[in-house]
Structure 1
Amino acid sequence: MEITIDKNSGYCFGVEFAIKMAEDEMETSDKLYCLGDIVHNDMEVKRLSAKGLEVIDREALRELSNCKVLIRAHGEPPETYKTAIENNIELIDASCPVVLKLQHRVKTSFDKMQREDGQIVIYGKKGHAEVIGLTGQTLEKAIVVMEDKDLDKIDFEKPVTLFSQTTKSTKGFYSLKEKIEQRILAAKGSLEEVDFTANDSICRQVSNREPQLNRFSKENDIIIFVSGKKSSNGRALYEVCKSQNDRSYFVENEDEIDPNWFKSNDRVGICGATSTPMWLMEQVKDFLTAMASDKAVV
Structure 2
Amino acid sequence: MNVTIDQNSGYCFGVEFAIQMAEDELEEVTELYCLGDIVHNSMEVQRLYNKGLRIIDRDQLKELRDCKVLIRAHGEPPETYQTALQNNLELIDASCPVVLKLQNRVKHAYDSNKAMNGQIVLYGQQGHAEVIGLAGQTGNEAIVITTEEDLDQLDYSRPITLFSQTTKSTKGFYHMKELIEQRVAAAQAAGVPVESLDANDSICRQVSNREPQLQKFAQLHDVVIFVSGKKSSNGKALYAVCQRVNPQSYFVENAQELDPDWFKNAASVGICGATSTPMWLMQQVKEAIQAQEPVAV
Q: What TM-score bracket applies, with the shorter chain setting the length?
A: over 0.9
Contact 1:119 1:158 (C-alpha < 8 Å) held by counterparts = yes
- The gaps in structure 1 that reach 5 residues or longer are 293-298
**How many pairs are equivalent?**
292
Q: TM-score, normalised by structure 1?
A: 0.95
Aligned equivalents of 1:177, 1:225: Cα separation in 2: 28
Map 1:1-298 onto structure 2 (within 5 A).
1-189=1-189, 195-263=196-264, 266-291=267-292
Aligned equivalents of 2:109, 2:40: Cα separation in 1: 29
Aligned equivalents of 1:107, 1:191: Cα separation in 2: 28
Partner of 2:75, secondary structure, is coil
CA-to-aligned-CA distance 1:79-101 (integer Å, 9 cap, x gap): 00000000000000000000000
CA-to-aligned-CA distance 1:219-245 (integer Å, 9 cap, x gap): 000011111111121111111111111
CA-to-aligned-CA distance 1:21-47 (integer Å, 9 cap, x gap): 000011112321000000000000000
Aligned equivalents of 1:288, 1:31: Cα separation in 2: 36
Q: TM-score, normalised by structure 2?
A: 0.95
CA-to-aligned-CA distance 1:122-149 (integer Å, 9 cap, x gap): 0000100000000000000000001011
Aligned equivalents of 1:235, 1:143: Cα separation in 2: 22
Identity of aligned residues (%): 67
The answer to which of 24-33 and 151-160 deviates more is 24-33
Deviation at 1:194, TM superposition (A): 5.6
Deviation at 1:287, TM superposition (A): 1.4
CA-to-aligned-CA distance 1:272-298 (integer Å, 9 cap, x gap): 011100000011111122228xxxxxx
Q: Which amino acid aligns with 2:211?
A: E
Aligned equivalents of 1:85, 1:221: Cα separation in 2: 54
Aligned equivalents of 1:57, 1:203: Cα separation in 2: 26
Q: 1:46–1:271: structure 2 CA closer, same or farther, 3 Å change rule?
A: same
Partner of 1:79, secondary structure, is helix
CA-to-aligned-CA distance 1:187-241 (integer Å, 9 cap, x gap): 2348999611011000010011111111111100001111111112111111111
Contact 1:165 1:201 (C-alpha < 8 Å) held by counterparts = yes
